[in-house]
């Protein structure tokens, strides 16, 4: 069974409490449970981690225990060349996810260092962004959909 890893970045552990007008009421536990259920239906093995540290994200990217990575680097999207470089170095397919549409937000949030090394970016659909990413992961891993630009 193909393995998908999900990395949630900083402050996502506060979902449901933090800026609900932007991120909604769903908690991270709720999103993770929904992802696990969908992954099972799609025939994917799912592991999920949340960390507030840049180094923790890099360590998880470098772990060799997955076939495809879904990542929401949160604020590190706009600042971390180190995360970008780790993704590039590992060479595994990556889907970037955001709950909000980063392109409709503040100017500084519109730049993603991750987008340049990801297969694609899904943003603006709240928790549904993760579900769309899982569907894309299944297409790539189970149906052999090409994943190179």
CATH of residue 86? 3.40.50.9100
- Residue 106: the pLDDT is 62
Distance between CA atoms of 47 and 5, rounded to whole angstroms? 5
Instruction: Give the tens place of pLDDT for each residue, 97-124.
Output: 998 877 665 675 657 899 899 999 999 9
Do the domain assignments include residue 41?
yes
Q: Which of 20, 21, 24, 18 is nearest to 130 (CA)?
A: 24
In a domain, 34, yes or no: yes
Residues with catalytic function: 23, 98
- How many structural domains are present in the chain? 1
Domain that holds residue 131: 3-142
Ranges assigned E (strand) in 1-149:
3-8, 45-50, 68-72, 94-98, 120-123
Q: Are strands 120-123 and 45-50 parallel, antiparallel or unpaired?
A: unpaired
Residue 81, domain member (yes or no) = yes
71: β partners: 7, 96
Q: Is residue 149 part of a domain?
A: no
Q: What is the pLDDT of residues 22-48, one digit of tens each?
A: 556 689 999 999 999 999 999 999 999
């Amino acid at each position: 069974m193909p393995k998908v890893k999900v990395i949630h970045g900083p402050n996502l552990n506060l979902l449901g409490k933090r800026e609900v007008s932007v991120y909604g009421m769903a908690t991270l536990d709720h999103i993770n449970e929904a992802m696990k259920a969908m992954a099972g239906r799609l025939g994917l093995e799912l592991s999920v981690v949340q960390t507030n540290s840049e180094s923790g994200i890099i360590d998880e990217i470098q772990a060799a225990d997955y076939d495809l990575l879904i990542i929401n680097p949160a604020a590190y999207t706009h600042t971390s060349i180190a995360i970008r470089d780790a993704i590039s170095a590992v060479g595994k397919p990556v889907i970037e996810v955001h709950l909000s549409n980063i392109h409709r937000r503040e100017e500084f949030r519109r730049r993603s260092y991750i987008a340049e090394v990801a297969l694609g970016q899904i943003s603006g659909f709240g928790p549904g962004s993760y579900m769309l990413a899982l569907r894309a992961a299944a297409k790539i891993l189970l149906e052999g959909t090409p994943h190179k630009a």
